[in-house]
Structures are given as structure tokens and as C-alpha cells.
Chain A
């Protein structure tokens, strides 16, 4: 089963991981990823991020996450996928994103989990704005994220 949630509320990592194999005996591997808000400092220092606000495009966000999960389903033998992405104001240490993948074997679970995160980073319409002592600052897209996603090109 694949489930996608875009929500303001936090999530329970343990419960989400357990749910991926609950009541079934064919799952041999569950791989998961949790993304957190970092208290980054700029080069030069002193400009610490005190909070972050995540904006998204309601409707397209869900649609793009569903497409990414469907793509992963086509590439690996998966038994279940769970994606949760938060929006709104988050402070350092808070969870932003969860990806959990269940499969018979670890290879497919690890690969699909990483693939979903790499595609999410470059295709799902979320934008981060950081609060710093100097004011709000939109996070720039990173080329490293584009190259990470490009690795999976067929």
C-alpha cells in the first residue's frame, strides 16, 4: 500500500515504520529516511537559522509525490511506501520529511528510499524560507540535488 501525506502536524517515526510491515509476513526489509531542520550557519558565522517556513503548492504536491512513488514502484519490487512531508513553520531539530519503503529484500528498499528522496528534492513543489537574525531568506536550489536526481536517469 502506498500512502502520501502533506501535513502541518509532526509524525511518529516508529509507528510509521511498524505500519509498513504490520500484519504481514512477506516484508523482509523496511528502509526509512527522516529529514530534519538544521540550525545552519552561513559562511562567516553568526547568522544562525532560528526557524524555517515551508510553502507548497496544494494539489500539485500530492500529485507529484504520487508520481514519484509510482515511478519507484515501477523500478523496484516494493510491498509498501509511506511518504510524509510537513509544511508551515518548523524549528531546528523538527522533522520535515519521512520516507519509508517495505520490500522483500534490503536492496530494493534501500534503493527505492533514496530514489524517492532524490526525486522529491527536485520535483515536489516545496520551498523553504529560513528565518535568520538578518531576516527571511529563501533557500536556493542546490546543484548537488539535481545531480543526485540525475543519477537515476534511465
Chain B
């Protein structure tokens, strides 16, 4: 399963990446699994650990940790929004 992951705002700066393409191991089924998987990279990636104030979207719709991730999805992680 291959997905595109995007990072925005302070999270993008912390991680040093705006996007990446990932081939996911078979045991990753949901957005929560993906977030754990990324946080386990350690170092700056701990910014994605459970409990950190990070929001996510799948295919440009806000999504919670229980939502399934599918092949070719566009997943995004970002801090709470501050527009307007």
C-alpha cells in the first residue's frame, strides 16, 4: 500500500518535511496506526505521538484515528487550524 503524506505549518517545520510517499507495512489499517508508525521513527517524529495536539485529514477531509487508510490515499497531519 502506497500513500502520500503531507505535513503543514509548525509540524512541517518541526519534521523538516512537507510531504513524503510511503509504502506501508500490512499491519497499518487506520490513521491512528499510521500516526503511531510515524511517531516510532523517534526524534522530531515524536511530535506525532498520541496525546500531542495534531489533527489529520484523509483525502482532504478531516479524519479521526479510527478512519481506515487505503492505497493511494492523501493523508495530511497538521496543528489545529488558526485562520480567519
From A35, A123, A138, A145, B10 is in contact (CB under 8 Å) with: A138
A127 touches B84 (CB 8 A): no
Compute how far the CA of A63 lies from the CA of B60 in the bound complex, rounded to whole angstroms.
8
Q: Kindly supply a per-residue 1/0 record for chain B positions 1-42, scoring 1 wherever the CB is within 8 Å of any chain A CB and 0 otherwise.
A: 000001011100000000000000000000000000000000
How many Cβ-Cβ contacts under 8 Å join chain A to chain B? 76
Q: Does A19 contact B (CB under 8 A)?
A: no
A139 touches B82 (CB 8 A): yes
Name the residue on B nearest A63 (C-beta): B60
B 40-69 contacts with A by CB, 8 A: 53, 57, 60-62
A124 touches B6 (CB 8 A): no
A141-B79 contact in complex given A55-B8, A123-B62, C-beta closer than 8 Å: yes
Compute how far the CA of A64 lies from the CA of B62 in the bound complex, rounded to whole angstroms.
9
Query: How distant is A148 from chain B, measured CB to nearest CB, in Å?
Result: 10
Q: How large is the interface on A (under 10, 10 to 19, 20 to 34, 35 or more residues)?
A: 20 to 34
Q: Does A85 contact B (CB under 8 A)?
A: yes
A124-B60 contact in complex given A55-B9, A138-B79, C-beta closer than 8 Å: no
Compute how far the CA of A126 lies from the CA of B76 in the bound complex, rounded to whole angstroms.
13
Q: Does A96 contact B (CB under 8 A)?
A: yes
Name the residue on B nearest A139 (C-beta): B82
B60 touches A56 (CB 8 A): no
Name the residue on A nearest B6 (C-beta): A57
A 36-71 contacts with B by CB, 8 A: 54-57, 59-60, 63-64
Q: Does A106 contact B (CB under 8 A)?
A: no
In the bound complex, residues from chain B placing their C-beta under 8 Å from that of A120 are: 83-84
Name the residue on A nearest B79 (C-beta): A127
- Interface pairs (15), CB distance under 8 Å: A55-B8, A57-B60, A64-B62, A85-B83, A97-B83, A122-B80, A122-B81, A125-B57, A125-B78, A127-B8, A127-B78, A127-B81, A128-B82, A138-B9, A142-B82
Q: Which are the 10 A-B pairs with shortest beta-carbon distances?
A: A126-B83, A141-B80, A127-B9, A60-B60, A121-B84, A138-B10, A139-B82, A128-B82, A120-B84, A63-B60
Residues of chain B having any CB pair with chain A under 8 Å: 6, 8-10, 53, 57, 60-62, 76, 78-84
Residues of chain A having any CB pair with chain B under 8 Å: 35, 54-57, 59-60, 63-64, 85, 96-97, 117, 120-129, 138-142, 145
